[in-house]
Amino acid sequence: MLFPTPEFASFFLVVFVTAWALRTQLEARKLFLLAASYFFYGYWDWRFMALLAGSSLFNWAAGLLIAGSSNETARYRLVALATAANIGLLGYFKYYNFFMDSLTDLTIALGIQRDMPFLEIILPIGISFFTFQGISYVVDVYRRQIKPVASPIDMALYISFFPQLVAGPIVRASHFLPQLDKTPMLTGTAVATGFLLILNGMLKKTVIAHYLAVDLIDPVFSNPSQATSTDLVAAHYAYVVQVYCDFSAYSDIAIGAAALLGYRFRKNFDRPFGTTSLQQLWQRWHISLSTWLRDYVYRPLRGDKRDAGWRMYRNVFLTMLIGGLWHGANWTFVIWGAIHGSALVIERTIKTRWHDWQMSRLRLAPAGAAVTTGRLTPTPLAAFAPAFIGWFITFHLFTLAAIFFRSPDLSTAAEYFRAMVTAGGGAELTTPFIAALTVASIGVHFMPGGGMERIAERIGGWSGPALGLLLGFGLLGIAVIGPEGVAPFIYFQF
């Protein structure tokens, strides 16, 4: 059941009305939301409902066992076992054939080719997301950051809650579970925020992401050697806009739907294209994954010590490499992760050297120089120039690396880069509409944040029919100019 469909709209109306009718009966509400979430998941493929239930129960039991043990070695073994089981599940469904494929290539290269046991494996939708939630839960219990949840219903609902089940955001147990034990509240601002997020998500997914993909990106990436340089350059910019609009749309609708049901999810994207460093970009792009990787990959790699130097750089690189591989079983994702890892390492090195150099200048500055905040006060141009250079490099590194992310294999990516430089030719597929859509979608990232929150506060006091006119005409406009069918969200494949 895709979000931008009449099926989901009808489903959500029934869930909304029933959930609020059960507002004061918390246990009944949880059971109802759990049943609704399994219905939502089973609508795609009912066979994987047992997998979802099994994963939830396993992590629930693991949490209880870890918390119940006072022996630190036993606790460590239990969390390691639970994490390994979660990764094993993800590995089997997502990476088994990739591993076999790579092993076949290796045996051919070594001249010892063998027939590998390839399997017909269907990837269960949302497995990357609910597995990561399971891991974060058992690790948080192990770290004593949260108490284990006593009720399997609460655990199952945390893992399967339908707004975030299929493509995130990756919700933390410490943030979501306490909300289940409180009587849900719904303010006028929350209603308006929910509707605005849903409208914004629908616009980004069904209009912006759709037209960029259909008119330019899909034809160019399907055969880069036939495209002109102008279209190839435009398509690589448009692609990051498409991914942003597609994925942030899912997050917006998920956060909006959860808000309407009385639950708060954290922001998952915060104008990432306006950032002036890669580190900053990763703090504002797919925030729930970035923070997950920080807390459950980078920090365990770092250990108790706050390392500097090569160990820190190695850990940053490995974290991004794993982040790349999480996106899919393909060498293109590994390369994409390696590019980001290497770039973050280089960026940190330059920043450290730059900081050291500035400090040495500060020490050499004559007494009475314009030192007010611990730095030499820069002129406006001197302040703008590094920010612009930082943005330019960050943005282009992101868009160029995205060519690997979008290409089905390394040879297509290589062909894309080659043709971008050598093909020549003007805009054949890049129409004024597509160019304007791309530029405008990037431009909004430079506007001040919090605009939607301010509008929601302003219209939160409107009557139901007035909000209905806004929601109805907004969705109507999107449906009329959008396509007849809706393509699945890009992140469903991850």
Partner 1 sequence: MATNDANPENGASTANARKATAAMLVAFALFAIFYSEGATRFARNLPGNALTDVLVNTADAWHGLMDDLGPARLAPAVRDAFERLHGLSW
For residue 71, state whether it binds partner 1 (rule: CB under 8 A).
no
Residues listed for the chain: 494
Least distance in angstroms from the C-beta of 442 to partner 1: 19
Between 22 and 81, name the residue whose CB sits nearer to partner 1: 22
Rounded to whole angstroms, the Cα distance separating 334 from 232 reads 23
**Which of 358, 396, 476, 488 forms a contact with partner 1 (CB under 8 A)?**
476
Residue whose tokens read 């849900």:
184
- SS3 category, 376: strand
Least distance in angstroms from the C-beta of 38 to partner 1: 22
Rounded to whole angstroms, the Cα distance separating 97 from 120 reads 9
Beta carbons within 8 Å of 206's beta carbon, 6+ residues apart: 4, 478, 479, 482, 483, 486
75-83, 93-101, 383-391, 474-482 -> range binding partner 1 (CB under 8 A): 474-482
354-362, 384-392, 412-420, 475-483 -> range binding partner 1 (CB under 8 A): 475-483
Active-site residue, 327 included:
yes
**Which of 13, 359, 365, 385 forms a contact with partner 1 (CB under 8 A)?**
13
Rounded to whole angstroms, the Cα distance separating 189 from 455 reads 9
For residue 42, state whether it binds partner 1 (rule: CB under 8 A).
no
Beta bridge partners of 371: 376
Least distance in angstroms from the C-beta of 292 to partner 1: 31
22-30, 272-280, 356-364, 388-396 -> range binding partner 1 (CB under 8 A): 22-30
Between 309 and 432, name the residue whose CB sits nearer to partner 1: 432
Q: CB–CB of 4/208 below 8 Å?
A: no
Beta carbons within 8 Å of 132's beta carbon, 6+ residues apart: 170, 289, 292, 296
Side-chain half-sphere exposure of 222, counting CA atoms within 13 A: 7
* Residues numbered 216-275 forming contacts with partner 1, rule: CB under 8 A: 260, 262
Q: CB–CB of 39/284 below 8 Å?
A: no
Between 181 and 356, name the residue whose CB sits nearer to partner 1: 181
**Which of 61, 81, 393, 479 forms a contact with partner 1 (CB under 8 A)?**
479
Beta bridge partners of 376: 371
Site string for partner 1, 428-457 (x = CB under 8 A): ---xxx------------------------
Rounded to whole angstroms, the Cα distance separating 245 from 213 reads 11
Rounded to whole angstroms, the Cα distance separating 452 from 247 reads 18
For residue 90, state whether it binds partner 1 (rule: CB under 8 A).
no
Amino acid at 270: D
* Residues numbered 190-219 forming contacts with partner 1, rule: CB under 8 A: 190-191, 194-195, 211
Residues 210, 236, 286, 327: which is the catalytic one? 327
Between 359 and 469, name the residue whose CB sits nearer to partner 1: 469
Rounded to whole angstroms, the Cα distance separating 491 from 213 reads 15
Rounded to whole angstroms, the Cα distance separating 319 from 311 reads 12
For residue 32, state whether it binds partner 1 (rule: CB under 8 A).
no
- Angstrom CA distances, 423 to 403, 409, 432, 480, 482, stand at 17, 20, 21, 37, 32
For residue 6, state whether it binds partner 1 (rule: CB under 8 A).
yes
For residue 98, which of 446, 375, 333 has the smallest C-alpha distance?
A: 333
**Which of 110, 122, 185, 381 forms a contact with partner 1 (CB under 8 A)?**
185
For residue 427, state whether it binds partner 1 (rule: CB under 8 A).
yes
Number of residues that bind partner 1 (CB under 8 A): 45
Between 386 and 472, name the residue whose CB sits nearer to partner 1: 472
**Which of 108, 346, 362, 469 forms a contact with partner 1 (CB under 8 A)?**
469
Rounded to whole angstroms, the Cα distance separating 152 from 492 reads 26
**Which of 42, 91, 152, 477 forms a contact with partner 1 (CB under 8 A)?**
477
For residue 392, state whether it binds partner 1 (rule: CB under 8 A).
no
Residue whose tokens read 């990232």:
445
- Angstrom CA distances, 102 to 53, 239, 270, stand at 32, 28, 37
Least distance in angstroms from the C-beta of 227 to partner 1: 16
Least distance in angstroms from the C-beta of 463 to partner 1: 7
Binding site for partner 1 (CB under 8 A): 6, 9, 13, 16-17, 20, 23-27, 181, 183-188, 190-191, 194-195, 211, 260, 262, 427, 431-433, 463-465, 467-469, 471-473, 475-477, 479-481, 484
Active-site residue list:
327
